[in-house]
Amino acid sequence: VPVFGICYGFQAMAQALGGTVAHTGTSEYGRTELKVLGGELHSDLPGLQPVWMSHGDAVTAAPDGFEVVASSPGAAVAAFENRERRLAGVQYHPEVMHTPHG
């Protein structure tokens, strides 16, 4: 069963699978520029795109076996994926209209 974590779900997935979540002091709230670093999750989407963030804590290290596929000014790990295990997550909110590419 594929699993996709959004915001706190992304952080919970990271923590549960051995990654690191921390209060970094670089919270993001509002429109933020996402930089796509590769992977399949954002394939066919612009390399730089606006997204809506709302977080105080951040994933600072992805779990083993996960590829970091996007970053933002306040979140070096803004998205990750493990294609073999069919797990992925994003720190931003793809479900809101402020994230045009969803």
Q: Where are the alpha helices (DSSP H) in the chain?
A: 8-16
Q: Are 19 and 66 spatial neighbours (Cβ–Cβ below 8 Å)?
A: yes
User: How far is C-alpha 33 from the chain's CA centre?
Assistant: 12
Phi, psi angles (nearest 5°) of residue 83: -65, -35
Active-site residue list = 7, 93, 95
Cα 15 from Cα 19, distance rounded (Å)? 5
